[in-house]
Amino acid sequence: MDIKALAQEAAPYIVDRRHYYHQHPELTCEEKETRAHIHQDLVDMGITDIRDMKTCYGLVATIHGGKPGKTIGLRTDTDALSFQEETGLPFASCEPGKMHACGHDTHIAMLLGAAKILQEHRDELCGDVRLIVQPAEEHVMGSKQMIAEGALEGVDAIFGQHVWGTLDMPYIDVTAGPRMAYSGRFTVEVHGESSHASAPHMGKDAITGAAAIINNLQQYVSRESDPLDPVVLTIGTISGGNRYNAIANYVTMEGVTRAYFLDKHEEAMRRIVENTAKGLGMTAELKYAHVVNPVINDDDDLTEIAQNAVKKLFGEETLYHMPPMMGSEDFANYAAEIPAVFGFIGCRDEANGMVYCNHHEKFDVNETLLPKGTALMAQFAVDYLAANAK
């Protein structure tokens, strides 16, 4: 089958679906109507093997090929963000304070386009295609719920992709190896002692203690951490104190870490937090939670199939190799279970004013990329099944 031509023929459908889901965004863990409409879209294609999840607003559906073989998974995410849209699009969000500012509406549309092509040509498939429609990606939790409910049962490998606002059109990246970082979340509680502001020597200032901890944590990043093993450490919130004229006895801070190898970082952070406070006559506690593992693309045959699919569809010049990034994605949880490839579709289009990155109130994409993303998903599925035909 000529998948590129089929995707182009399906472009009006794909764009229409993108418009609908863009207009009706739902936040993380609220994707009930989104799931219901995707379910109906799949039914309208003639897909009958569909299962709604019980613990989250996700679903899985299977396209059964006409020939025996393996099962390839294709994943999309569905949740929106708490942004007031400022794009001015005629199909802008109808929901105040909610927007598909990360492109998940395009991911849904591209998956539906690929499903349409594969369902219409299912007799040619050497195996099955599992469609994995996942909620709650923005809180990096939805994939765990999907896996716990058996979304990957019987699936041999999985492919996912993301439109990316810092990568120029028409480039596509499906590089092997590390792609997106580990994410950790932490809280630091600093305990001092109150006194009147005019007598700081009578107390232990938790605010200055917190400031010292922040500075020392950043010195860890710049002076203890290997610059060839990147780590990002960000304090996002800080609060403490009771009155403007009193020495603060308590401060709490929250932050995130991003890295690719994390074991040593948590231990070092704990040492710095506790010893900095101790040196100032205070105590401090680090509470650390591992959120999601890094996304590491399969560096064997699977990534080669993805790269060859890009070359076949759009030419070798379309392939781009971005360095690993410090953003995180809960696609990592699938990759921890089965062979996986996660791709990036460039959507920066300066000529048409589409220069805003993901998670921006004016984020938008040139819709000519939608059938390309559809074609890539479908081509990868077909080629994977053909390469592993029984």
Which tokens is 265 given? 């970082």
- Crossing angle, helix 32-44 and helix 104-120, to 10 degrees? 20
- DSSP character for 259? E
* Strand residue runs (E) in the chain: 49-52, 59-64, 70-77, 127-134, 157-168, 172-173, 177-180, 182-191, 195-196, 231-240, 246-247, 250-259, 283-292, 295-297, 340-348
Closest Cα partner for 389 from 67, 117, 1, 3? 67
Which tokens is 91 given? 């199909």
pLDDT for res 261: 78
pLDDT for res 346: 98
322 burial level (CB within 10 Å; 0-12, 13-18, 19+): middle
- CA 168 to chain centroid: 19
- CA 105 to chain centroid: 13
Q: Which residues contact 175 (CB under 8 A, 6 or more apart)?
A: 297, 303, 321, 322
Query: What would the DSSP string read from start to end of 15-44?
Result: HHHHHHHHHS--BTT-THHHHHHHHHHHHH
Closest Cα partner for 349 from 369, 371, 331, 373? 369
- CA 210 to chain centroid: 31
Which tokens is 333 given? 């949880």
239 burial level (CB within 10 Å; 0-12, 13-18, 19+): exposed
Please state the three-class secondary structure of 196-214 as a single string: ECCCHHHCECHHHHHHHHH
- CA 149 to chain centroid: 20
The one-digit pLDDT tens for each residue of the chain (390 residues) are 899 999 999 999 999 999 999 999 999 999 999 999 999 999 999 999 999 999 999 999 999 999 999 999 999 999 999 999 999 999 999 999 999 999 999 999 999 999 999 999 999 999 999 999 999 999 999 999 999 999 999 999 999 999 999 999 999 999 999 999 999 999 999 999 999 999 999 999 999 999 999 999 999 999 998 888 889 999 999 999 999 999 999 999 999 999 987 667 899 999 999 999 999 999 999 999 999 999 999 887 999 999 999 999 999 999 999 999 999 999 999 999 999 999 999 999 999 999 999 999 999 999 999 999 999 999 999 999 999 987
